[in-house]
Amino acid sequence: MIKIDKKTKEQLIQLHQSKRISLEGNILKVIDVDGDVEFQNYVNESIEKDNTTRKKRLEITKQIQKQNKELTDWKTENERIHGELLETLELNRVAIIEAENAKEEAENAKEEAELSKDKAEKAMIEAMTARAEAENAKNNAENDLELIQKKSQFELIGTIVKVALWVIMGVGVTTTLMFLIALFAGVDTSVVGSTWSNIIGILLTNAFSIVGTIMGVKYASEKNQ
């Protein structure tokens, strides 16, 4: 036990009464009051005050610990929320980029589709134009072929007519010359004259027959076409 002299006791009591300052802690448990009632009251009040102070400190400590825990939990929750926000922002950024890429791809696909449509329309127009040109070429070729056939027919008919006429003229001229020679030679021309007349008649008949046959064939060919 610790014994305190009277003067120290008086100073401690006076300090407690004037400024409400007293001893604290376990030292109060080892002080020997030595039968001093006033000092005993001081020690008891100091012990009670110390206990009260300790309880308040304990409550404050608990409160501080609770607040610290709440702050720690709040900080952890904030960090979690912050992380989720960052993750959400990143996902949104990725989604925005993907949406922009998809939009760009859609626009490119639309442009390609429009180009393909234009090319298809152009190809269709070219095909129609080529078809029209082919039909025109076919019609021109048929017309040219028809003209060539007609020209060939006319040339052939003209050639046949010319040859027939030249043959008829040649035979007629030859027969006439022979008749004239016999006439000037003083030969009896009765037989020659009749022969010449018959030959001329036959030649004329054949000439008209040839011309008529050729014209009939030409008319029939044109009608069939």
46-97 pLDDT, tens digit each: 888 888 888 888 889 988 988 888 888 888 988 889 888 889 989 888 889 9
Give residue 126's pLDDT. Answer: 86
pLDDT along the chain (225 residues), means of 10: 77 81 75 77 83 86 88 88 89 89 88 83 84 83 75 70 73 74 69 72 77 70 61
The residue ranges of every structural domain in the chain are 2-86, 148-224
Give one DSSP letter per residue of the chain, joined into a string: -EE--HHHHHHHHHHHHHH-----SGGGGGEE-TT-HHHHHHHHHHHHHHHHHHHHHHHHHHHHHHHHHHHHHHHHHHHHHHHHHHHHHHHHHHHHHHHHHHHHHHHHHHHHHHHHHHHHHHHHHHHHHHHHHHHHHHHHHHHHHHHHHHHHHHHHHHHHHHHHHHHHHHHHHHHHHHHHHHHHTT---HHHHHHHHHHHHHHHHHHHHHHHHHHHHHHHHHHH-
